[in-house]
């Protein structure tokens, strides 16, 4: 049976060679459905570590040309000093900064661009807070496709912008926030026949499921809690789907609780859950230092809310100061350099322990979504500049 798309609301189905992003009947999100393969972990262990190791779980037909930069296979670090600070028994960071373009987006783009290529498309497009464009530009280059990007003006971290430009994307910036950039690129895609690779694209999310698979393999068991920063909310949904598929295939026999964290100034999903609403109220002017999660109207909120409900999950908001503090300690206690959005996961777990929302006995995996070098300007603001010294050893000794 080939994979197909299914509306999460009305159940309408679409073939895997149709270019459709949301349900034509009810405008809701689509999800890829396929037969759950029966493969053992031992079989996977014979293969190279990376997303295509889980080939049977990825909905790409045999014989398609695979577009890859060897994404995935990132380290899972045990962080004992950080665990003390956070207040849990065991804490791990899954360091997605080690992907080819420095964020987890590469997992999704490898599958998404492979799909674009197999559909015979010549151009791809995205709106981005930065990492999506960096990643899509690189994979489009690898595949020989044209790439169009719309960014919110002055709100994209310098490292990410540098990547998108150097990989040859046509980069445009709009006066407005990410939500407006996304609205524009969706319209542009349908007018120009570009293949849209934001996380509304369900094929892309399939690649991000592999984060769950890798955590299971590396840890050797199921953690109690998996903490994920939420922006457009695709990643937490994809990771949860990954755990469920390993569960259905019999590889694991229990499931973790998902923990979604948003920045205080951009927290529409957490606000909605706190108030017990069943619809999202967008935040019209999202603000946070963590630009990767500076999103006021997250497209994938229904999937994220389902993941949190199904997993008996947790949610929390963190302030910019809490994010910066966590970023510093992840870097200085453990040697792991992450960008601010990633640090939100660790900050959120610490807050939940302080508030007695999670037990100290828990084993927690935090997703370190992106690399420290993505946002050098934020680092200079937070850490200051180097100490200026004269070229004279005695003067230096005096200063020290």
Q: Which residues bind ligand PLP (CB under 6 A)?
A: 103, 105, 131, 199, 229-235, 292-293, 339, 341-342, 369-370
Of 23 and 379, the one with the shorter C-beta distance to Zn ion is: 23
Q: Which is nearer to ligand PLP, 118 or 135 (CB)?
A: 135
380 forms part of the interface with Zn ion (CB under 5 A): no
1-30: contacts with Zn ion (CB under 5 A): 7, 9-10, 12, 23, 25-26, 28
CB of 387 vs ligand PLP, minimal distance in Å: 30
Question: CB under 5 to 8 A by kind: which of Zn ion, ligand PLP, none does 288 bind?
Answer: none
Nearer to ligand PLP, 30 or 233 (CB): 233
The answer to whether 31 contacts Zn ion (rule: CB under 5 A) is: no
Contact of residue 293 among Zn ion, ligand PLP, none (CB under 5-8 Å per partner type): ligand PLP
Of 74 and 369, which CB lies nearer to ligand PLP in the complex structure?
A: 369
Tell me the closest approach of the beta carbon of residue 12 to Zn ion, in angstroms.
5
E runs forming strands in the chain: 4-7, 13-14, 30-33, 76-78, 90-95, 123-127, 146-152, 170-174, 195-196, 225-229, 257-263, 314-318, 363-368
Angle between helices 234-248 and 210-219 (to 10 degrees): 60
> Which of ligand PLP, Zn ion, none is residue 339 near (CB under 5 to 8 Å by kind)?
ligand PLP
Q: Is 233 annotated as a binding residue?
A: yes
Query: How many of the other CB atoms lie within 10 Å of CB of 251?
Result: 18
Per the annotation, does 235 bind a ligand? yes
Sheet-wide strand order for 123-127: 170-174, 146-152, 123-127, 195-196
Q: How many Å apart are CA 99 and CA 103, to the nearest integer? A: 6
Task: Quote the CA–CA distance of 306 and 300 in Å, as a whole number.
Answer: 10
9 interacts with, out of ligand PLP, Zn ion, none, CB within 5 to 8 A per kind: Zn ion
Structure tokens at 384: 């200051």
| Residue number with CB closer to Zn ion (10 or 166) | 10
Cβ closer to ligand PLP: 231 or 268? 231
User: Cβ distance 330 to 82 under 8 Å?
Assistant: yes
User: 44 or 178, CB closer to ligand PLP?
Assistant: 178
Min CB(146)–ligand PLP separation in Å? 23
Token pair for residue 289? 């230092």
The strand ranges marked E within 264-349 are 314-318
| Residue 137 contacts which entry, ligand PLP, Zn ion, none (Cβ below 5-8 A, type-dependent) | none
Q: Residue 103 binds which one of ligand PLP, Zn ion, none, with CB within 5 to 8 A depending on kind?
A: ligand PLP
Structure tokens at 334: 């453990």
Question: Is 313 part of any known ligand binding site?
Answer: no
| Residues in contact with 21: Cβ distance below 8 Å, sequence separation at least 6, in sequence order | 30, 186, 196, 200, 201, 202
User: How far apart are the C-alpha atoms of 109 and 98, rounded to whole Å?
Assistant: 15
Min dist CB 386 to ligand PLP, Å, is 26
Sort strands 314-318 and 170-174 into parallel, antiparallel or unpaired: unpaired
Smallest distance, Å, CB 89 to ligand PLP? 26
Radius of gyration of the chain (CA): 21
Instruction: Name the binder of 105 from ligand PLP, Zn ion, none, CB < 5-8 A by kind.
Output: ligand PLP
Q: Which residues share a beta bridge with 228?
A: 260
The answer to whether the annotation marks 131 as part of a ligand binding site is: yes
- For the chain, the straight-line distance linking the first and the last C-alpha, in angstroms and rounded, comes to 69
Binding residues for pyridoxal 5'-phosphate, by number, are: 131, 231-235, 369
């Amino acid at each position: 049976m080939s994979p197909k798309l299914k509306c999460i609301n009305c159940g309408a189905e679409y073939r895997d060679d149709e270019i459709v992003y949301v349900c034509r009947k009810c405008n809701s999100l689509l999800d890829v459905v396929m037969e759950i393969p029966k493969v053992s972990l031992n079989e996977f262990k014979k293969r190279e570590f990376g997303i295509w190791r889980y080939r049977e779980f990825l909905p790409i037909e045999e014989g398609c040309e695979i577009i890859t930069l060897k994404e995935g296979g990132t380290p899972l670090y045990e962080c004992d000093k950080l665990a003390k600070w956070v207040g849990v028994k065991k804490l791990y960071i899954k360091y997605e900064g080690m992907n080819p373009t420095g964020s987890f987006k590469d997992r999704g783009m490898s599958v998404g661009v492979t799909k674009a290529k197999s559909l015979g498309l010549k151009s791809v497009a995205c709106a981005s807070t930065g990492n999506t464009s960096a990643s899509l530009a690189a994979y489009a280059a690898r595949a020989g496709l044209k790439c169009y990007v719309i960014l919110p003006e002055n709100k994209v971290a310098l490292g990410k912008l540098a990547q998108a430009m150097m990989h040859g994307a046509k980069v445009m910036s709009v006066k407005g926030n990410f939500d407006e950039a996304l609205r524009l690129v969706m319209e542009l895609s349908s007018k120009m026949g570009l293949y849209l690779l934001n996380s509304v694209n369900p094929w892309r999310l399939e690649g991000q499921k592999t984060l769950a698979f890798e955590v299971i393999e590396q840890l050797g068991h199921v953690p109690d809690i998996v903490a994920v920063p939420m922006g457009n909310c695709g990643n937490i949904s994809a990771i949860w789907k990954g755990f469920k598929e390993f569960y259905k295939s019999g590889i694991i026999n229990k499931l973790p609780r998902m923990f979604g964290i948003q920045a205080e100034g951009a927290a529409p999903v957490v606000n909605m859950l706190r108030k017990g609403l069943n619809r999202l109220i967008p935040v019209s002017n999202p603000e946070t230092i963590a630009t990767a999660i500076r999103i006021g109207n997250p497209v994938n909120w229904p999937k994220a809310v389902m993941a949190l409900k199904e997993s008996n999950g947790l949610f929390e908001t963190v302030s910019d100061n809490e994010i910066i503090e966590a970023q510093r300690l992840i870097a200085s206690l453990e040697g792991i350099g992450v960008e601010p959005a990633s640090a939100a996961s660790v900050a959120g777990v610490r807050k939940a322990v302080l508030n007695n929302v999670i037990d100290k006995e828990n084993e927690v995996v935090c997703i370190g979504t992106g690399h420290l070098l993505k946002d050098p300007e934020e680092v200079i603001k937070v850490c200051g500049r180097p100490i200026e010294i004269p070229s004279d050893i005695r003067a230096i000794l005096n200063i020290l």
